[in-house]
Amino acid sequence: MQASRPQTLGALKRSPDAVARAMRSVKDELRANLLDRLATGEPVFEGVLGYEETVMPQIVNALLSRHNFILLGLRGQAKSRILRALTTLLDDAVPIVAGSEVNDNPFRPISKFARQLIEEMGDDTPIAWIDRDGRFVEKLATPDVTIADLIGDVDPIKAARGGHLLSDELTIHYGMLPRANRGIFALNELPDLAGKVQVGLFNVMQEGDVQIKGYPVRLALDVLLCFTANPEDYTARGKIITPLKDRIGSEILTHYPETVELGMAITEQEAWTSREDSSVRVPEIVAEVVERVAFEARTDRRIDKRSGVSQRLPITLLENVVSNAERRAVLAGEDDAVARISDIYAALPAITGKLELEYEGELVGGHVIARELIRRAAEATFKARVGEASVDEIVLWFDAGGALQVTDDAPAAALAAAFSSVPGLGPLARTEPLAGEDPDDGTIVAVCELVLEALVARKRVSRSDAGRYGRAVPEKRRRPNEDLFGGGLSA
């Protein structure tokens, strides 16, 4: 493919289609390819779910308007994935002057190196081609990023080897932004960039000039600039300078999944659950509880709303749930591994590490809050599927002194037999909204645990941290350090 493309400026000029494409700006290129994709009905970006009616139309409008844009959203809202997916709207490859550090357009060179080379060699100027991936530059903004990192700096070694004055443009070592010329430059967490660097950035964006070590340099860059930021930081009173904010064409808000079903689809797409060397089934109710843990966390007043609860929480939680079921199956010699609610408790590290707690939450503790979130998620799942189903028979059995010990390493057959001793639990667990059609022991165990967790959340049954279900503990008898939803001591 490379050999069939023009390799010299003269050959490039003799290819009308190549000339037409080379003369397009990056924003025009993205616009034309986006219009083609819209006309064919293809999704704008593959693998980005939940934004079809909200975020995507705004991104499309920004690209059609040839705007630089910023994605504002909390962590885990697919901002970086969207920016990286922009490369799919670029041409397969574009021609540049061979050896250019800034991807010089052969017909519109911006560096002194390329201009001199074309002047000396004319139509014999060598041409190279860069593909989509080579036209995407991404940088995480941090306070220590300098103008030299982004724009460039004078290189004394270049000056000495070439015999140039330091004021000569040939002595410049170009930064990341000029090297993204004729491509896309993505800057994550924009407000973390120092103010003086932000000034240099908006000068390049608007006027195309910048001063490097006091020498004015004109850089008419052909680049799409896109940024990400947390809405809390991206304010005129925050860490963003107003002139830069004013130069960004479109400001687009992202969001977390708006429904549990959509969140489950995203988690299923992203989580590593299909293991090559083992097979673990995840009942739908378990996947729903996993997703609802994140939904419950996003509404909990003890969790920092400014940080948010990333979609990575249910993704990593589901992966840990599958791993715990896999571990149990190996230790118990089971051929069929089925995930259940106790596996979610075993996966607490995947929850606690994703929660930024407020002061009140710090006093309670991350592990206690995580357990409460699991119970609330189980209760919400139970209610969504069977509403106010009668559970009095089950509660009466526990009130009469009945108890069950449930651990995450117990075989499914043993637990199924134990749950069958609780009046009313088995028939409720076998209902189609909870267990589906023709459930096996593994699914029945998962549903029985779900029912019991829902009763714990309603304070009609107690659960210790060791997994013992028993009679609910009256409020007046509960000790100060006791779990709010069960009869066990908090972690």
The tens digit of pLDDT for each residue in 377-394 reads 999 999 999 988 899 999
Of 222, 253, 284, which one is at a domain's C-terminal end? 253
Six-digit token pair at 62? 């920004």
> Which amino acid, 468?
R
Most confident of 116-130, 149-163, 197-211: 116-130
Co-location of 201 and 289 in the same domain: no
Co-location of 336 and 436 in the same domain: yes
What digits encode the pLDDT tens for the residues 234-284?
Answer: 875 558 888 888 889 999 999 999 999 999 999 999 999 998 877 899 999
What digits encode the pLDDT tens for the residues 71-90?
Answer: 999 989 999 999 999 999 99
Co-location of 467 and 329 in the same domain: yes
Task: Give residue 464's domain range.
Answer: 260-477
489 domain-assigned: no
The pLDDT value given to residue 478: 52
Residues 6 or more apart in contact with residue 467 via CB below 8 angstroms: 342, 345, 405, 406, 407, 408
Contact 63, 218 (CB under 8 A): no
130 domain-assigned: yes
Co-location of 303 and 231 in the same domain: no
Co-location of 189 and 272 in the same domain: no
487 domain-assigned: no
Which residue in 272, 286, 270 sits closest to 323, CA to CA?
272
DSSP string across 349-398:
HHHHTT--B-HHHHHH-HHHHHHHHHHHHHHHHHHHHHSS---HHHHHHH
CA 443, CA 285: separation in Å to the nearest integer? 9
Q: Residue 219 belongs to a domain with what CATH number?
A: 3.40.50.300
Co-location of 248 and 264 in the same domain: no
Residues 6 or more apart in contact with residue 81 via CB below 8 angstroms: 45, 47, 48
Co-location of 239 and 385 in the same domain: no
Co-location of 208 and 307 in the same domain: no
Q: Is the pTM of this model over 0.75?
A: yes
Of 253, 284, 305, which one is at a domain's C-terminal end? 253
Query: Higher confidence at residue 428 or residue 465?
Result: 428
Which one-letter DSSP state was computed for residue 489?
B
The pLDDT value given to residue 165: 53
Which residue in 287, 201, 205 sits closest to 240, CA to CA?
201
State whether residue 433 is helix, strand or coil. helix
311 domain-assigned: yes
Co-location of 108 and 142 in the same domain: yes
Nearest 5°: phi and psi at 478? -80, 130
CA 19, CA 12: separation in Å to the nearest integer? 7
Residue 471 has pLDDT above 90, yes or no: yes
Co-location of 185 and 304 in the same domain: no
CA 454, CA 377: separation in Å to the nearest integer? 8
Burial of 86 (C-beta count, 10 Å sphere; 0-12/13-18/19+): buried
CA 348, CA 351: separation in Å to the nearest integer? 5
Co-location of 35 and 146 in the same domain: yes
Co-location of 153 and 272 in the same domain: no
488 domain-assigned: no
- Average pLDDT over all residues of the chain: 88
**Domains in the chain, number:** 2
Of 253, 272, 303, which one is at a domain's C-terminal end? 253
